[in-house]
A and B are shown apart, each in its own frame.
Chain A
Amino acid sequence: MTTTLAPDMIERITRIEVTPAIPAILLPLMELLKAPSDSVEIDEVVRLVSYDNAISAQCLRMANSPLFGLAVPPKSVSAAVVSLGLRRVESILLTCCMGQAFPLKRWVLDPVVFWRHSLGCAMVCRKFSEKLANSDGEAAYMAGLLHDIGFLVNCLAFSDEFTKAMEVAQREQIPFDEAEQATMGFSHCESGAVLAAQWKLFPDTVQVIAHHHDVEKAETARALVALVHLSDLLCRMRGMGYGYYERRKVDMISDPAWGILAREHRELDGIDLARFTFELDDAVVEIFELVSAVFAASPVHA
């Protein structure tokens, strides 16, 4: 994939890899989960997770949430795998790892706001995906969770520039990526894509991170990129945005992303978007609680 970032900027992002904050289990876990579901060693996943008490505890807290829809809450990670299924547990585990991956000392953006948006978007992506035939809900969840990873890159590698972008976005109440472009000359999409490639995330996820604000530029996985784009907009319009009022109206059905998604999923045009919007409000309270339980507890590293 091509990137418009200057080499010295890429160098700054590359250095993020050595951040001590990344939980030891995150990268091996991602590596493990790249394999097709039926060949993943469940015992290996459980063993890996049990190394990290904080992540095990947070994983169970999430598995207990009504958003994951279990009548009987699981008591252990392996029980959660049995009742929720491996793929759902993967989503939960990666969510918890992400919470610990960036316990920045100096967040430019309020971390609670960021994780509400990211987890909110993950949930909305999954709910959206469930309304479409042949759409992988957990892949959509993961794409939603990671789509704004570039925010964290910008916090770590470009904090002064990013602070300015944040101020402009809040003052002018414009979309964040526009403020980034205006002040930094690039957005979290480009910087996130560099980190995603470096972390060797799934190619589809890299496309989502790079192009969720300009779906037509996606080279592959365009339906997934479109789904994340629309879910991101919905979150920002329903109280799970970046913590400030965005002065804008969003006409989703006229958005090119809607057309791209509809070409692959004919049933999209049958969705009652107003009702879907109202249903999302049901999830907001629980998402806020989960973020407090799972993300706010992350230790802050020096």
Chain B
Amino acid sequence: MTISTQTTNAPSSPFRVAEPVDPLYRQIRDIVYKVSGIYNTDEKLYLLVDGCAKRIKELKLRSAREYLDHLTAHRSLDGESRFLLNELTIGETCLFRSMPQIDALRKVILPEFAADKTRQSMKRLRIWSAGCSTGEEPYTLAMTMMEESEGLLKGWRVEIVATDLNDRSVEASKAGVYGDYGLRNTTDYYKRKYFLPADGKKLQVKPEVKKLITFNRLNLSEDTKMLFMKGMDLIFCCNVLIYFDGTSKTKVVDHFFGNLNFGGYFFLGTSESLLKLNDAFHLVHFPGTIGYWKPSLKSEKL
């Protein structure tokens, strides 16, 4: 009799029982962190193990030790680090991916904005999803804002700008059609309220949600275009900066700082850090997540 176990072929699951991990992977984790700012906690180390396994197979290596040697020798973002990062971030995105960020937005930041006198007089909110991939993030933000349209944001004008380097991603974003995988964190409440049925059991985002968002192609390395992205209150840039080397990353982050209004916030992916690239941003903690804050004028002396 053959007993099939779920773990052999099952896709990576956050509920997988933690197994002892070869300490070599902690060294690999350190390299990945230093190169990209991405940190896999022990609980999520299996993602790193899975990613390395794919690279080991691809490179026809025999062990994690050989892979560590290879990665150490080719750790630049033009080298092996890029391939490994691709494996680590592939297919990660979905709607409502980071609930702690959404909670921070609704429970802490929006009440702060709503109480801010300058913003109150303008009643305008500009949000940028920089590196929006296939649209999951901007749509999540749009729906979150719409939930507040009769509450904290009553009478406010919300604009979301979503950009990506890749034309095909921008087109897919505009279409806004998602299957089970992209909707795995989306509750029935949101599915019913903000989606319409589409082909092949998929769902498509309703036009009134799309109306809040402007989609564009944008290269974050193009200084002239970056300078035009002014007056943002919130910038989300998830798993994009990990592909930039130190100097270009600093430049992009400096632009983001300039693009934000005083008192605005900048969010990276949940396991991602700025690696102390910019002293002007304040690292701030919210329950379950971190963000970067551009101090408001009156608090600058803090």
- Check A274–B108 contact: CB distance below 8 A: no
The 10 listed contacts between A and B (C-beta, < 8 Å) are: A233-B285, A236-B287, A237-B286, A249-B284, A249-B285, A250-B284, A251-B283, A272-B275, A274-B37, A277-B290
User: What's the least CB distance linking A240 to chain B, in Å?
Assistant: 11
Once the chains bind, are B39 and A278 in contact (CB under 8 Å)?
A: yes
Cross-chain contact A238 with B284 (CB below 8 angstroms): no
Residue on B nearest A244 in the bound complex, by CB? B287
Tally chain A residues at the interface, Cβ within 8 Å.
28
User: B107 touching A278 by the CB < 8 A rule?
Assistant: no
Residues of B within 8 A of A186 (CB): none
Alpha-carbon distance A278/B44, docked complex (angstroms): 11
**In the complex the two chains form, what is the Cα distance from A234 to B288 in whole Å?**
10
Q: Is the CB of B283 within 8 A of A245?
A: no
Once A252-B283, A253-B282, A272-B276 are accepted as A-B contacts, the answer to whether A238 and B288 lie under 8 Å apart by CB is yes
Q: Which residue on B lies nearest to A285, using beta carbons? A: B43
Kindly provide the distance from the CB of A229 to the nearest chain B CB, expressed in whole angstroms. 13
Q: Which of B43, B109, B274, B286 contacts A274 (CB 8 A)?
A: B274
State how many residues of chain B have any CB contact under 8 Å with chain A.
Answer: 31
Q: Do the beta carbons of A274 and B288 come within 8 Å of each other?
A: no
For the complex of A and B, 4 pairs with smallest distance between CB atoms:
A274-B273, A237-B285, A278-B39, A254-B302
Task: Tell me which of A241, A274, A279 has the highest count of chain B C-beta atoms within 10 A of its own C-beta.
Answer: A274
In the complex, A105 has a CB within 8 A of chain B: no
B271 at the interface (CB under 8 A from A): yes
Give the contacts of A272-294 with B (CB-CB under 8 A): 272-275, 277-279, 281-282, 285
Which residues of A lie under 8 Å from residue B109 when comparing CB positions? Answer: 249
A278-B39, A282-B42, A285-B43 are contacts. A245–B287 as well, Cβ < 8 Å?
Answer: yes
Q: What sequence of 0s and 1s flags, for each residue 97-134 of chain B, a beta carbon within 8 Å of any chain A beta carbon? A: 00000011001110110000000000000000000000
Which of A237, A249, A251 has most B Cβ within 10 Å? A249
List of A residues within 8 angstroms of B273 by Cβ:
272, 274-275, 278
How far is it, in angstroms, between the C-alpha of A173 and the C-alpha of B103 when the chains are bound? Answer: 13
Contact with A along B259-302 (1 / 0, CB 8 A): 00000000000010111100000111111101101000001001
Q: Is residue A171 within 8 Å, beta carbon to beta carbon, of the partner chain? A: no
- B25 in contact (CB, < 8 A): no
Whole-angstrom distance between the alpha carbons of A250 and B42 in the complex? 25
Whole-angstrom distance between the alpha carbons of A245 and B240 in the complex? 29
Interchain CB contact (< 8 A) of B287 among A237, A254, A282, A285: A237
Bound-state CA distance A250–B302 (Å) is: 13
Q: Which of B271, B282, B288 contacts A237 (CB 8 A)?
A: B288
Q: Report the separation of the CA atoms of residues A279 and B33 in the bound assembly, to the nearest whole angstrom.
A: 12
Would A274 and B283 be within 8 Å (CB), given that A238-B288, A281-B41, A285-B43 are in contact? Answer: yes
Q: How far is the CB of A256 from chain B (nearest CB, A)?
A: 10
- Nearest Cβ distance between residue A262 and chain B, in whole angstroms? 14
Docked Cα-Cα span, A104 to B72, in Å, equals 54
Q: Is there a chain B Cβ closer than 8 Å to A178's Cβ? A: no
- Which residues of chain A are near B271, meaning CB under 8 Å? 278
Q: Which of B41, B274, B288 has the most CB of A within 10 A?
A: B41
Interface hits, A226-266 → B, CB 8 Å? 233-234, 236-239, 241, 245-254
Which residues of the partner chain B approach A275 to less than 8 Å between Cβ atoms? 33, 39, 273
CB pair A278–B41 under 8 Å, yes or no, is yes
Map CB proximity to A onto B13-41 as digits: 1 under 8 Å, 0 otherwise: 00000100000000000000100010101
CA distance A248 to B103 in the complex (A): 11
Q: Are B285 and A245 in touch, CB under 8 angstroms?
A: no
Residues of A near B284 (CB, < 8 A) are 249-251
Least Cβ–Cβ distance between A233 and chain B, in angstroms: 7
In the complex, what's the smallest C-beta–C-beta distance from A235 to chain B, in angstroms?
11
B52 to chain A, nearest CB (A): 19
Does B43 lie within 8 Å of A282, measured CB to CB?
yes
Q: Which residues of A contact B18 (CB under 8 A)?
A: 285
The docked-state distance in angstroms from the alpha carbon of A275 to that of B285 is: 13
In Å, the complex CA distance between A279 and B282 comes to 20
User: Are B107 and A173 in contact, CB atoms less than 8 angstroms apart?
Assistant: yes
Closest to A66 in B: B42
Q: Is A249 a contact partner of B108 (Cβ separation < 8 A)?
A: yes
Contact of A249 among B104, B288, B302 (CB under 8 A): B104
Taking a contact as CB atoms under 8 Å apart, the answer to whether A234 and B285 are in contact is: yes
Q: Point out the residues of chain A lying under 8 angstroms from B299, CB to CB.
A: 254
* Residues in B whose Cβ lies below 8 Å from that of A239: 287-288
- List, in ascending order, chain A residues with CB within 8 A of B33's CB: 275
Q: Are B107 and A251 in contact (CB under 8 A)?
A: no
C-alpha gap A282/B299 in the complex (Å)? 33
> A233 — nearest CB in chain B belongs to which residue?
B285
A277-B287 contact given A247-B108, A249-B293, CB 8 Å threshold: no
CA distance A237 to B18 in the complex (A): 24
CB-based contact A251/B288 at 8 Å: no
B285 touches A252 (CB 8 A): yes
